[in-house]
Amino acid sequence: RIVFLNGSFLPIDEAKVPFMDRGFMFGDGVYEGIGVLNGRLVDNEAHLERLERSLKEIQIPNPYSRAEWTRLEEELVRRNNMTEGFVYFQVTRGVAERDFFFPTDARPTVAMFTQAKSIANAPAAEAGISVITVPDMRWERRDIKSINLLAQVLAKQAAKEAGAQEAWMVQDGYVTEGGSSSAFIVTKAGSIVVRPLSNAILPGITRKSLLQMSREDGIVLEERLFTVNEAYDAAEAFLTSASNFVVPVVRIDGRPVADGKPGPVTKRLRQLYLQMAAGPALA
Ligand code: PMP
């Protein structure tokens, strides 16, 4: 397996990050994850735009232009012969003696790897998954895609121990988002409900594409908060992420959503998203 680290492509066992990297010591960095289908990066421009914003918010200089990032991602996909899965990369503030203040002379550390994975033909994603709800314990700048994922690690582990596959985090009774996904419900009238963008959630790229697709498809959108109780009573529920696209949620805290099977709106959106991601040649 080949990874990219600070300018070089090399076997993963040879890729070493220095002990004093601020990503390791402070979680001082940001990341991106981009889906790959048929060897193509899905929504890459939007991911790079979000990366630029995350870096700016924490004052790390962007080491590459969008064209350079794209070239690196594509080269890594090619070197790993990957056709389906995802590309992960992170940028940390770099290596410096441990001190909270920004170092004046550090260069950002850039690490990138690929993970092969079935996204289009994923049985769980077809059949639907279970989620549990947990308190959202994160900081107040969830719009930054920070590598600090401790709250999500704990939330998703709790989900796993409860026999579920994802955790929906809850603040003041309202669902914020999934541990690593955006959360949606479908009302009995057939409209999609999703939390509006703010500092309380990550601006999901899959969320953004899905909303655009839904608008074009004539589906009614309600960008507003929704409670856990509303989710229990919803006609359908689903989640989106770059590494899973659109996945039905068929149980919430052990209760079936409607009849406990993926609903028609979710199935249609998954299909539409897969077509878009597959690219013009296969659409
Ligand atoms: N929310 C959180 C907290 C996430 O970690 C992710 C996945 N990185 C998402 C939402 C989904 O975002 P995207 O569609 O850009 O993968």
Instruction: Write out pLDDT tens, residues 6-61.
Output: 999 999 999 999 999 999 999 999 999 999 999 999 999 999 999 999 999 999 99
Q: For a pocket test of ligand 1, which of 181, 184, 197, 205 has the largest count of ligand atoms closer than 8 A to its C-beta?
A: 181
With cut-offs at 50, 70 and 90, classify the pLDDT of residue 279: confident
How many other CB atoms are found less than 10 A from the CB of residue 8?
9
With cut-offs at 50, 70 and 90, classify the pLDDT of residue 124: confident
The one catalytic residue among 16, 56, 145, 267: 145
pLDDT of 112 above 90: yes
Q: For residue 106, what are the domain limits?
A: 2-116
Statement to judge: residues 131 and 266 lie in one domain: yes
261 a catalytic residue: no
DSSP one-letter string for 180-220: TBEEEEE-TTS-EEEPPPSTTS---HHHHHHHHHHHHTT--
| ipTM score assigned to the predicted complex | 0.99
Statement to judge: residues 244 and 212 lie in one domain: yes
Residue 283 is assigned to a structural domain of this protein: no
Q: Whose CA is nearest to atom 7 of ligand 1?
A: 180
Q: Whose CA is nearest to atom 5 of ligand 1?
A: 180
Q: Whose CA is nearest to atom 10 of ligand 1?
A: 181
**Whole-model pTM above 0.90?**
yes
> How many domains, the chain?
2
pLDDT of 119 above 70: yes
- Mean pLDDT over 264-280 rounds to 93
* pLDDT at res. 281: 54
- Mean pLDDT over 79-95 rounds to 98
Statement to judge: residues 195 and 246 lie in one domain: yes
Q: Is 125 in the pocket of ligand 1 (CB under 6 A)?
A: no
